[in-house]
Amino acid sequence: MLEIEVKARADHQQAKELLTDMGAHFIGVQHHSDTYFNAPHRDFGNTDEALRIRSVDGRSVMTYKGKKLDTVSKTREEFETDVDGGNTRSILLALGFYESGVVKKIREVFKYEDMTICLDSVEGLGEFMEVEIGAESDIETHKKQIFSFLENFGIGEEDSIRTSYLEMVLEKE
């Protein structure tokens, strides 16, 4: 599965008003704590990959994200599975993986057509909007759909942020 995603800075109050006016469906609020790991055999920072355990309101999911596939979005291959967060962390550490950082955020989730819209308040970084579509193919068509949707918020391709929240947090340290 490919995750076709675009992230940009956004004013959440304005975005919520526009989403409501468009008829987007509010899914709910989530509290995320994302712990990222790096591998002993290659540096994910250099290979543009990510491995994390995300804890959301008592549930943990391990996610691997492959290299970004283009220069304007965060489109990449993604695999996820439910895990026991504590045991999975212990296994990774025992195998030589090490923690590379933690990102905490509050995420407000909306659905509009086949898109998931996330309004993220990231600790230490501010407010962002992520729009994503999961797909098997036809990346260009889906990217155009996302950018067309983002025009409603005054967001264009030039506003797309390809840097991960983890990279942003680490840059601030």
Q: Give this prediction's pTM.
A: 0.88
Give catalytic residue positions: 36
Q: Is the pLDDT of residue 173 over 90?
A: no
pLDDT, tens digit, for every residue of 2-15?
788 899 999 999 99
Whether 99 shows a pLDDT value over 90: the answer reads: yes
Structure tokens that stand for 104 in this block: 């905490």
**Whole-number pLDDT of residue 6:** 93
Q: How many domains does the chain have?
A: 1
Domain of residue 11, CATH code: 2.40.320.10
Is pLDDT at 130 greater than 80 in this prediction? yes
Q: Could you list the residue range(s) of the whole structural domain that residue 126 is in? A: 2-172
